Structure 1
């Protein structure tokens, strides 16, 4: 008897990205559609700050709340995407995915392009968080998968995890079930690499001078049925893809080795990266575990009003000039809820320009009452113009005070949300929560490599031997640091302890700092709790999203073995 022929395994799924944030390159959608073959294009528009912005939009107009940029991009490219058979999956729906889906249908009708549009909802929990401007659960990819399996050409979501834009299409294409954790974890890793667009192709990269990133192309992933992938970009586009650019993006905005999501917890300590030719990096070996029993909820609130004024201090007696201004402003500052001074010594002795001879004294005030940080501050600052330190001037006069936001993370049981796929025909399909869950616990620190033998050292910047990338998660920041060689890793793993990190980054000295070790990536990931206050919208520090925290670390000097230099 002849054995039945084995079922055909679907080929690799080519998924590209055309947006990493709300405001990314407008022409990227057309560039990706015309640059090479693709099956799916994903657009990521949402971040913690974006949800606050969309929430304020919705206050002005209930029909708003989605990324309007996407609709304008689609007007230019909808026919092209349809002609090429490329499906589009995006979280541009923001706070109003149903509204954006309806707007796309109207656009398609006007353009005469027959596309099927679906959307995913159920993430909106604002009603159960009193006082919140927006409260949304991070959903997984199986609602997206249901929409694609029903024939959708365009799938619009609200707040899903960034990686879900990739796991959903992969699960639909390969028929993965919710317990195929290793495959799902592989797609999560690919999705995490793609989600920030050109950060995977040389953008924001520590060693950016190794390629031409004047106009980097957007990334794509060739995902296979086993969950492995190859990260690349369209031929002839700018930027570059190597194990370093992929490592940098893998470390971005992550914590420990267990990278939790609604569908699966991906083990970042199992990721293997291999250069697979020019601008191609193979990602395999990824293991997955059951997801946590709870979903993260991003809660955005209006925290009050803030204002700031920057005094320019030039020449001699910088400290004394700063002290004078503080004393003169003290009477009005006693009436505001919070006042914070920062003196940036950007001045240098015997400077060749006035700007190089100047330091910046920044005053930031916050209060629930806009009036307290408005005219009172403005008047007190401007009245000093002829009555304070010599050379008095400010970068710009203070305004009337602007609202600021506060972000906090909450958690709800996986089954507490009504994750729903609204299919192209309007029918609604409930997406069940995972059948199994595993509480998220930290992994013990793995065994470190043997230390580098003692030898001659030289005082030099850390960035000569290590790369870094940093980012924000609510009020916390992460700094991922990786070595470029095995010997560099043997030194870095022992040298860059939590204590050394605190010495190099004084802001972290009194804050909780956790170090996570990822030997496969030759990387350390530091999480600094509370360094960003109440999140990016609160504008707590000079670099409110900690985007340059890693570059500051790379610029700090240590005793580095000469063999590495």
Structure 2
């Protein structure tokens, strides 16, 4: 089924997380008459629920043998998608809006059944399809058995046979052509499991404009557009270091993004009418720098080259994407492998006022002594102070620091209350002045965690299939032409032609974030962080300042001794860093408060450097 015209397709992003606001799809569909939308896409997947939903599916399969009437685990798709879809269905049908989402998680076929029944219950003529092929554990097992691959971890370099955990599930990141094919057959709603975050946008544009696999420039532009809008509010001002400017623009109801993609691949980013926030060069720069790994940006359908990318402000809340280059996709696709990682628990004390470090040392010594009989069974034990006390505090809460005790072990019994929580809480009467524990003791009980291992699988080993409402299925072949890319992304430790920082005149010590925007995020255990400046004359200063060695200095105690990659995006006045293996094994089993890596940028912006006074005279961020 061909798209209705060759005008640009308007694709709206309604969700960037399983916990995103639920009303965006309804709002976008209901306002179609005033703000037409052709396709609504949504991202419900992350590395956190890739592991948890995988375990849930396996537990459910095991529970098929439990006695009738016993409690069974929940379904392994993302139910919040249904909360978003149901109130929007009437308008989706009325206006002929297409929908593509990855909310199937680890049970896409079941989600397809549920959506199909929901559509029937409303007596709507909507055709529902689903995409499979992302569940690749048998392919991984087969390749291991036949010694075709060692499945090297792309974050750590470890090989799978040396991993300390037993794999139970593997999920590949699929491209967008299955979704496009389903639309071409007449599907109105397509549900998927782990397609890549940008794949629904690639799919919508590919279908709408009847592109071919060889249209690499168009595909690359759609791919970057998908990266920009798949995280819903982010490109409209969410998670943006210029957020203070948004208070007068409705920061209590930040809008949802719309990508307008022309047949030649030209992209314009805007947002839904009447919403808060903004779409600007800076908000687009913020989202572009989120979760990339280097100048080569891979998808199963195309590779986008980012080093000459830039944005142009066309008018209020309308930004054009420029400078994207394209190349062939890699022969492989990313795979996330799940394993049961054991259990973790935590306990918190509150330290207040003076002598915080001494109080923490005293508490740690007392706890460690009581834990001594059990500590050999722990796989991780960490004591951390979180927060600080200002000089001459004016309120007690502001003078309070959280002292956290965190533990992990392979077996739940090794951190049961008598072996972890009791040693943490029992020193209360011999503790530091004001010794006060957190009263939510539930955190001290063992909860399961899941390990996540990131590797690659040949696309030819993936059985990418489309399943139509009629029962018909057909396969999506891998790309006929691919390119084997080097493992190492281009990296430049120091800028070429660095300028002597003394040339920028008088300086004062202050936070980097007074002048510099930044954005960071996670990919497995890796963390990326990108910095950019607003004014052309600040660019030479930024690129000269931010070397790899300067990044190590800024990280200070947070530097874990692992490699750091650096590349520049000169047209964006941006410097990007990839911090290898920085995040303690990733979101699903991290011991860090910052398990998504999003506050790495905020920490670094707070670090003091020598700031040129003439830049500060323009006003601080």
* TM-score tier after normalising by the smaller chain length: over 0.9
After TM superposition, give the deviation of residue 126 of structure 1 in Å. Answer: 2.9
The answer for the alignment partner of 1:43 in structure 2 is: 42
After TM superposition, give the deviation of residue 378 of structure 1 in Å. Answer: 1.3
The answer for the alignment partner of 1:251 in structure 2 is: 289
After TM superposition, give the deviation of residue 129 of structure 1 in Å. Answer: 5.4
Does 2:531 match 1:510? no
Does 2:588 match 1:537? yes
Q: After the TM superposition, which residues 510-529 of structure 1 pair with which residues of structure 2 at under 5 Å, given as runs? A: 510-529=561-580
After TM superposition, give the deviation of residue 322 of structure 1 in Å. Answer: 2.0
For residues 464 and 58 of structure 2, what CA distance do their matches in structure 1 show?
A: 24
After TM superposition, give the deviation of residue 448 of structure 1 in Å. Answer: 4.6
The answer for the alignment partner of 1:372 in structure 2 is: 414
- Indicate the RMSD between aligned Cα atoms, in angstroms: 1.9
After TM superposition, give the deviation of residue 77 of structure 1 in Å. Answer: 1.4
2:309–2:569 Cα contact (<8 Å) kept: no
1:221–1:232 Cα contact (<8 Å) kept: yes
From 121, 124, 143, the counterpart of 2:135: 124
Does 2:435 match 1:392? yes
- What TM-score results when the alignment is normalised by the length of structure 2? 0.86
The answer for the alignment partner of 1:306 in structure 2 is: 344
For residues 418 and 363 of structure 1, what CA distance do their matches in structure 2 show?
A: 45
The answer for the alignment partner of 1:466 in structure 2 is: 516
3-state SS of paired residue (2:428):
coil
Q: After the TM superposition, which residues 319-398 of structure 1 pair with which residues of structure 2 at under 5 Å, given as runs? A: 319-331=357-369, 332-333=371-372, 334-335=375-376, 336-344=378-386, 346-375=388-417, 376-396=419-439, 397=441, 398=443
The answer for the alignment partner of 2:19 in structure 1 is: 23
For residues 429 and 345 of structure 1, what CA distance do their matches in structure 2 show?
A: 55
1:143–1:419 Cα contact (<8 Å) kept: yes
Taking a change above 3 Å as real, the CA distance of residues 497 and 80 of structure 1, as seen in their structure-2 partners, is same
Aligned residues: 558
Q: After the TM superposition, which residues 356-505 of structure 1 pair with which residues of structure 2 at under 5 Å, given as runs? A: 356-375=398-417, 376-396=419-439, 397=441, 398-441=443-486, 442-443=489-490, 445=492, 448=496, 451=499, 453-505=503-555
1:136–1:298 Cα contact (<8 Å) kept: yes
1:339–1:365 Cα contact (<8 Å) kept: yes
Does 2:272 match 1:272? no
Taking a change above 3 Å as real, the CA distance of residues 317 and 273 of structure 1, as seen in their structure-2 partners, is closer
- What TM-score results when the alignment is normalised by the length of structure 1? 0.95
Taking a change above 3 Å as real, the CA distance of residues 563 and 393 of structure 1, as seen in their structure-2 partners, is same
For residues 265 and 308 of structure 2, what CA distance do their matches in structure 1 show?
A: 13
Q: After the TM superposition, which residues 210-289 of structure 1 pair with which residues of structure 2 at under 5 Å, given as runs? A: 210-211=245-246, 212=249, 213-289=251-327
Show structure 2 runs of 5+ residues with no match.
Answer: 62-73, 142-165, 617-621
For residues 566 and 259 of structure 2, what CA distance do their matches in structure 1 show?
A: 30
3-state SS of paired residue (2:393):
coil
When structure 1 is superposed on structure 2, of 246-255 and 419-428 the one drifting more is: 419-428
For residues 168 and 51 of structure 2, what CA distance do their matches in structure 1 show?
A: 7
1:151–1:424 Cα contact (<8 Å) kept: no
Does 2:75 match 1:64? yes
For residues 16 and 484 of structure 2, what CA distance do their matches in structure 1 show?
A: 30
For residues 109 and 522 of structure 1, what CA distance do their matches in structure 2 show?
A: 52
2:139–2:461 Cα contact (<8 Å) kept: no
From 149, 158, 173, the counterpart of 2:208: 173
2:554–2:604 Cα contact (<8 Å) kept: yes
Does 2:88 match 1:77? yes
For residues 237 and 449 of structure 1, what CA distance do their matches in structure 2 show?
A: 44
3-state SS of paired residue (1:328):
helix
From 159, 171, 194, the counterpart of 2:229: 194
1:110-160 CA-to-partner distances (Å, cap 9, x unmatched) read: 110011111110110134557434311001011111101001000111101
After TM superposition, give the deviation of residue 444 of structure 1 in Å. Answer: 5.8
From 186, 201, 204, the counterpart of 2:239: 204
Taking a change above 3 Å as real, the CA distance of residues 330 and 273 of structure 1, as seen in their structure-2 partners, is same
After TM superposition, give the deviation of residue 271 of structure 1 in Å. Answer: 2.0
1:15–1:38 Cα contact (<8 Å) kept: yes
3-state SS of paired residue (1:247):
helix
After TM superposition, give the deviation of residue 229 of structure 1 in Å. Answer: 0.7
For residues 379 and 600 of structure 2, what CA distance do their matches in structure 1 show?
A: 28
For residues 168 and 327 of structure 2, what CA distance do their matches in structure 1 show?
A: 34
